[in-house]
Amino acid sequence: MSFDFPSDLIEASLTCKNLREKLDALPVDEVTRTDGTPVERKRPAKTYTEDEAAEVARLRAERLAAAEFVVTHPYWESVPAADRMKARAALKHHGETD
């Protein structure tokens, strides 16, 4: 099944993905259990400078705005409810090559 996504929806989805990549590239502190065993998840570094903290806040706000745009886009009303999960997954991977 293919979906004809509007260009503004594709752009917002790509913006969301790009911002996530930028956030993922920021310094993080490792999370460990009390016995010292590392846990796979990480949290933002506690050692951000004021400028870095402001950049993190800006990136998060931009990503939230892009995600809200994607989720609330009128396009989804045109997709039958039974197909929306498939459509959202297809948008998430739009433009990727195997």
Nearest CA among 20, 12, 11 for reference residue 65? 12
Please check the confidence at residue 98 and state whether its pLDDT lies above 60: no
**Cβ-contact 91, 5 below 8 angstroms:** yes
The tally of domains found in the chain comes to: 1
Is residue 82 domain-resident? Answer: yes
Give the C-alpha separation, 71 to 59, whole Å: 18
pLDDT bucket at 27, cuts 50 / 70 / 90? confident
Nearest CA among 73, 95, 92 for reference residue 9? 73
Instruction: State both tokens at 20.
Output: 């996530």
Average pLDDT over residues 12-30: 87
The more confident residue out of 14 and 95 is 14
Residue with tokens 């396009």: 75
**32-44 confidence digits (pLDDT tens):** 778 877 776 666 6
**38-65 confidence digits (pLDDT tens):** 776 666 666 788 888 898 899 999 999 9
Is residue 1 domain-resident? Answer: no
Is residue 37 domain-resident? Answer: yes
- Domain residues for the domain of 54 are 7-92
